[in-house]
Chain A
Amino acid sequence: MAKVLMKGNEAIAEAAIRAGCRAFYGYPITPQNEIPNYMALHLPERGGVYLQAESEVSAINMVYGAAGCGVRVMTSSSSPGISLKAEGISYIAAAELPCVIVNVMRCGPGLGGIHPSQGDYFQAVKGGGHGDYRLIVLAPGSVQEMADLTFEAFDLADKWRNPVMVLADGLLGQMMEPVEFIDREPQMVPKPWATTGAEGRKPNIINTLDIVPESLEKRNYALAEKYARIADEETRWQEYKIEDADLIIAAYGTSARAARSAVDMAREKGMRVGLIRPISLWPFPSAPFAEAADGTRQFLVVEMSMGQLIEDVRLAVNGRGVVHFINRLGGMVPTPPEIYSKIEAILQGGEVQ
């Protein structure tokens, strides 16, 4: 298939439709508006339902309803809207309903600004809503990955009966790059649990309430067991020039793009620097960091947030290497030269943490 030039947000929407998404419920918010706009235009003519909800709270609960009927369904928003969806996301995870939630992050806290940020890392990977639950969180680093990971998000959601979040940011959402859509059928699975009308069978119930502690404890353990299997099978990352590296950068999404260029700049100057780019933020790829942390290497975390990704990197490194940090906030994006300077300071200036 030929490549087409598209905005990241549009690539997400198109990939979702190709993945069999047949319902979209959303609420406008910058910088993700191209997603609902694209869906409103194209989804109805391709056999799906588009509906603008009265709020993000409603939108996510519409997703709950449609997901409970076994339909591939999606919602998208940006940071403040994801906060409003948090309650519904917890219910969807508890009811084990498959769906895809896109967060095209903007900067916060509060109303913040409309420029790109990675400030919702904790919200996405550590909870956000109440209770013990996990989202599968996928972090694209290009328009191509916006499409690929969205397509795969639907398959993963169905496979695990779990909500999947595509965590992008305003820069990836707005930038245009050539994209080629995955050329395969989505992996549809039977959903005998769905509420479609109890015709000739016992009623199905989609529910998250369980007031018997012994029973709810079991349910929590069953979820934990599922999350452990997801961690075994679905952890993804990309390595770049790490084999001989003295310094390994950790960065995802937009930060990773700048970090990769900085790695090349450093390599040209003869510094041995590499990059580990987490693609699944949950499950977090601890293994490559743990393996690399043999006591001889240093690490540098690059993020557009105030020390969020670094916590998972530190846990993985587990004290077997110094973990440095560089970030930008408020809609500012780290540049390759900035990161390069930091690399230089660490490797040549002997900067200690």
Chain B
Amino acid sequence: MMRVFERPESLTEKQMHYCPGCTHGIIHRLTAEAIDQLGIREKTIGVASVGCSVFAYDYFNCDMQQAAHGRAPAVATGIKRVLPDRVVFTYQGDGDLASIGTAEIVHAAARGENITVIFVNNAIYGMTSGQMAPTTLLGQKTTTTPRGRTVHDNGYPIRMSELLATLDGAAYIERVSTHDPKHVMQAGKAIKKAFTMQLEGRGFALVEVLSTCSVNWGLSPQEALEWMRDNMVPYYPLGVFKDVTREEEQA
């Protein structure tokens, strides 16, 4: 009999704490599969951030550091600069990366830091009970925008991938989604590519993964996937925003 499905070696056996309908677990798995496929588990150092994925250090079966809120790109820089032949990745939410940690992510990208960033955008602060995130959509209700986010009060949601893609140091930036199996497959490919870029020494690679937070969105798991598809994907278009390998081919 052939095994067609098993736990990636790069995930521990620890049971994940994520809520039903949350896609953090899927994104962990995609990340672990990429590490397995590239055979780099024993030379990978991951950096967990602060948010619902704060326990990622218990789930990834590789060396891990847990960083302060927003600081994962700085911690990853500190690691990568002293161990340039290791593979270093961060795993960050949108509050972590696009709000408190904007300086760190922008400058890591600007420096062309040779690291891989998995950026999980669920348009909300999950861990602290559903407050507005910098990526919360206009009109979206959160515990701190109880009447819906307005431009007047809160300004516009940030499109981080587009913003970071303007920086010369960025080698690869892609936005993917997890709202159906086809898109999950594409997300897996993008994550693997983001690690490959690092192995090739090309510089900063980031994959923004649109993700659900059914509990804080107040939706069932199925409804959450549909809401993501119908509301997030239009505002956060999927695709490749920067790929230096493509630019090379075209040149």
Contacts and interface: CB of A to CB of B under 8 A. Distances in A.
Nearest to B50: A209
A64 B63 contact: no
Interface in B66-108: 66-68, 71, 74-79, 81-83, 86, 103-104, 106-107
Contact of B82 (A49, A197, A199): A49
B54 interface: yes
A197 B86 contact: yes
A30 interface: no
B41 interface: yes
B43 A199 contact: yes
A69 B75 CA distance: 11
B71 A69 contact: no
A352 interface: no
**Dominant secondary structure at the B interface:** helix
Contacts of A91: 68
A115 B65 CA distance: 38
A62 B103 contact: no
A22 B219 CA distance: 51
Interface residues of B, number: 34
Contacts of B63: 195-198, 203-205
Nearest to B71: A61
Contact of B54 (A51, A57, A206, A209): A209
Residue of A51, A57, A199 with most partner-chain B CB within 10 A:
A57
A132 B107 CA distance: 32
A55 B73 CA distance: 13
A195 B46 CA distance: 9
A75 to B, nearest CB: 10
Residue of B54, B62, B66 with most partner-chain A CB within 10 A:
B66
A182 interface: no
B57 interface: yes
A68 B72 CA distance: 13
12 contacts: A49-B81, A54-B104, A58-B104, A61-B75, A61-B104, A64-B65, A69-B83, A87-B68, A197-B62, A203-B61, A205-B65, A205-B66
Interface of B: 41-45, 47, 54-55, 57-58, 60-68, 71, 74-79, 81-83, 86, 103-104, 106-107
Interface of A: 22-23, 25, 49, 51, 53-55, 57-59, 61-69, 71, 73, 87-88, 91, 195-200, 203-209
Given A68-B65, A198-B42, 11 more contacts: A22-B82, A23-B78, A61-B71, A62-B81, A69-B45, A69-B79, A198-B41, A199-B43, A205-B63, A207-B57, A209-B66
